[in-house]
Structure 1
Amino acid sequence: MDQMSFGDSEYASKRKRTRREVFLAEMEQVIPWTILLNLIEPVYPKAGNGRRPYPLKVMLKIHLMQNWFGLSDPAMEEALYEIASMRQFASLSLTKPIPDETTILNFRRLLETYELGAEILARVNGYLSRKGLMLKRGTMVDATIIAAPSSTKNAGGERDPEMHQTKKGNEWFFGMKAHIGVDVDSGLVHTVTTTAANEADVNEAEYLLHGKESVVYADAGYTGADKHSSRRGLDWQIARRRSSVKAMPEGRQKRAIEKAEKRKASIRARVEHPFRVVKRQFGYVKVRFKGLAKNTAQILTLFALSNLWMARKRLLAMTGELRPKVA
């Protein structure tokens, strides 16, 4: 039996649980560990003549915590030393070596090199579908801007060439866009694409469909998507532009249209929930890396994790696990 450090022993004896501890305890239960480990294991370094690699599950847990708490590689290393609950989640102890920032970086790059972000999302969604949590009868589509540093005060003296500027309302933004297709019934993300921020939302609409839906809900930014779609017989519920409805003469027809628009908006509102989880719960409001590829890898993982977070109560109910009390 491994000897516990004084800090770990002191942590184990405390009675109250923090919100972070409750969060990690819940995610420990709902993440399909075997599925994800089987995905990564074939490309994970094997023990050889050099330094023995950390167990794959340890590194995967560290990688997930990086995404949940918005930590850089150096900050993640420090957190493992300083925060006992994170150390415990990763099955680490201060009595043994803690993965350093280079080891943490190399694991992230491994996932990027083999482009496993998309497969992580696919396998999580397959797991949720088998649990009956993703029905795929309809899709909601939407996009959000992820800001990127606009400063040129860097080694290259230039902004990221793969990020672009766009105007939304009366404000200008520089960065990229995350486009998502969301299951109407569950509110879970089934498809993710990314582009520079200046790409029109309507151009990505076709790529956000999984092919089995019968109806698509979208805001006015997707006007015309139905005309450009290769799918026939698909019911496109696209919001009318407010100005066009407002300009209509008062009467029965306008009231009927306003009622229909209100219904579409009430259904479409659920598409915002994954964005809220990623941006508010996980704190992802600005790109961390340069270029679309690396940021796309992280975004795919974040939406896979947001699906598990949003479905956690139903998943915990299936396992009979009671939600831990928060301090």
Structure 2
Amino acid sequence: MKSFEKYFMNKQYARVEELSDKLAEIDPLIDWDVFRPIIREMYDNHTEKGGRPNIDEIVMMKMLVLQSWYGLSDPELERQANDRISFHKFLGFPERIPDRSTVWAFRERLIDTGKDEKIWEELQRQIDSKGLKVKEGVIQDATFITSDPGHKKADEPREPTAKTRRSKDGEWTTKNKKSYFGYKLHTKMDIDHQLIREIETSPASLHDSQIDLTKPGEVNYRDRGYFGGKCKGYNATMNRATRGHPLNIREKLRNKRITRKRAPGERPYAVIKNIFHSGHVKVTTTLRTHTKNIFTCFSYNLLQLKTIQNKNTT
């Protein structure tokens, strides 16, 4: 019976494939099975919460990729994963689709065990193994990931027992006379392949210059917001005029050169916000937002790997 069902679903999917399926294009770009032992380690314990998950580890991981790719809430992810044949295909036609509670619990366990970071590290290892290492330099930048502030005053803490969606860790900040509440996504993207290599998540009020994602030896191109900030690599930060010290012609020309290098750095944020619709989160802590950001940037890198593949075949 199950083989007949799978045959029928494959036949149904063939119609979708004729129209082009982006998920089917990104699926073979990385080795998913390598992530299995990373996830499995979360369940290898002898407590009452131990034991293997009832659903395949890669299905669970791919559910979070689908959620990030399409900007879905947990309930909407469950609905669409049961409804869309392209989602079924991407998940490998599992016998059972994880429900919203299972997805939430899986994401929480990733956070508690730090396996979300291990998943990100494995993705970077696979990227490097494809010969896509950082060579020319990196671009560091940051963008706001907004959250729900609720109805209380900005400086009034949210009570731990409050049953509201108001963010626990989000903070207010102002940029260009516009107020934002929530978090910041800090990214380091390589210039060579426009892949995100490092990320960090902070409250929105933290100044960009307080985060340094570079490694020794890397050329780090940054805008004026990082002026005066630390840099472990070669500091290619734009100069900023200060009181009594206007920029001279040499500094202005240097800024123009850095601007040209930095220009591609805005693309990930355009994809994250305009295509993935992940510029706003409903989760309530920095850790939860960071895990969301990891899978959003994971999805962006899959999209970019496909772009690189298309360029190499033309």
Same fold by TM (over 0.5)? yes
Query: Residue in 1 aligned with 2:173?
Result: 166
| Structure 1 position 44, deviation (Å) | 4.2
| Structure 1 position 298, deviation (Å) | 1.4
Whole-angstrom distance in 2 between the partners of 1:16 and 1:34: 24
Read off the aligned partner of 1:224 and give its amino acid letter: G
Distance 1:136 1:242, change over 3 A: same
Give me the TM-score of the superposition, normalised by structure 1.
0.80
Distance 1:316 1:32, change over 3 A: farther
Query: Is the 8 Å Cα contact of residues 152 and 158 (structure 1) preserved in structure 2?
Result: no
> Is it true that 1:179 corresponds to 2:186 in the alignment?
yes
Distance 1:134 1:35, change over 3 A: same
> Is it true that 1:281 corresponds to 2:286 in the alignment?
no
Distance 1:105 1:45, change over 3 A: farther
| Structure 1 position 267, deviation (Å) | 0.4
| Structure 1 position 151, deviation (Å) | 2.0
Query: Residue in 1 aligned with 2:308?
Result: 314
Whole-angstrom distance in 1 between the partners of 2:6 and 2:31: 30
What is the aligned counterpart of 1:266 among 260, 271, 277? 260
Query: Residue in 2 aligned with 1:130?
Result: 129
Read off the aligned partner of 1:120 and give its amino acid letter: I
| Structure 1 position 99, deviation (Å) | 2.6
Query: Is the 8 Å Cα contact of residues 81 and 87 (structure 1) preserved in structure 2?
Result: yes
Read off the aligned partner of 2:150 and give its amino acid letter: S
Query: Residue in 1 aligned with 2:82?
Result: 81
CA distances 1:274-298 after superposition (whole Å, capped 9, x unpaired): 2222222211010131110111111
Whole-angstrom distance in 2 between the partners of 1:310 and 1:16: 21
Whole-angstrom distance in 2 between the partners of 1:275 and 1:178: 9
Which one is further off, 268-277 or 151-160?
151-160
Read off the aligned partner of 1:53 and give its amino acid letter: N
> Is it true that 1:202 corresponds to 2:209 in the alignment?
yes
What is the aligned counterpart of 1:290 among 262, 275, 284? 284
Query: Is the 8 Å Cα contact of residues 16 and 86 (structure 2) preserved in structure 1?
Result: no
Query: Residue in 1 aligned with 2:5?
Result: 4
Query: Residue in 1 aligned with 2:70?
Result: 69
Distance 1:16 1:298, change over 3 A: closer
Whole-angstrom distance in 1 between the partners of 2:144 and 2:106: 27
Query: Residue in 2 aligned with 1:325?
Result: none
| Structure 1 position 242, deviation (Å) | 7.3
The DSSP-based 3-state class of the residue aligned with 1:190 is strand
Whole-angstrom distance in 2 between the partners of 1:17 and 1:69: 21
Query: Is the 8 Å Cα contact of residues 189 and 195 (structure 2) preserved in structure 1?
Result: yes
Unaligned runs of 5+ in 2: 46-50, 153-157
Distance 1:247 1:65, change over 3 A: same
What is the aligned counterpart of 2:226 among 222, 226, 250? 222
Which one is further off, 158-167 or 142-151?
158-167
Read off the aligned partner of 2:308 and give its amino acid letter: R
Distance 1:6 1:304, change over 3 A: closer
Which one is further off, 101-110 or 267-276?
101-110
Whole-angstrom distance in 1 between the partners of 2:33 and 2:53: 22
Whole-angstrom distance in 2 between the partners of 1:146 and 1:293: 13
Q: How many aligned residue pairs are there?
A: 300
| Structure 1 position 132, deviation (Å) | 1.2
Which structure exhibits the higher relative contact order, with contacts defined as CA atoms closer than 8 Å and separated by 6 or more residues? 1
Query: Residue in 1 aligned with 2:92?
Result: 91
Query: Is the 8 Å Cα contact of residues 40 and 52 (structure 2) preserved in structure 1?
Result: no
Whole-angstrom distance in 1 between the partners of 2:117 and 2:53: 28
Whole-angstrom distance in 2 between the partners of 1:38 and 1:90: 18
Read off the aligned partner of 2:100 and give its amino acid letter: E
CA distances 1:41-94 after superposition (whole Å, capped 9, x unpaired): 222479xxx99712222222222111111112211111122211111221226x
Query: Is the 8 Å Cα contact of residues 239 and 261 (structure 1) preserved in structure 2?
Result: yes
The DSSP-based 3-state class of the residue aligned with 2:216 is coil
Read off the aligned partner of 1:274 and give its amino acid letter: P
| Structure 1 position 13, deviation (Å) | 5.2
| Structure 1 position 263, deviation (Å) | 1.6
| Structure 1 position 224, deviation (Å) | 0.5
Whole-angstrom distance in 1 between the partners of 2:93 and 2:16: 20
- Root-mean-square deviation (Å): 3.2
Give me the TM-score of the superposition, normalised by structure 2.
0.83
Unaligned runs of 5+ in 1: 323-327
| Structure 1 position 9, deviation (Å) | 6.4
Query: Is the 8 Å Cα contact of residues 137 and 212 (structure 1) preserved in structure 2?
Result: no
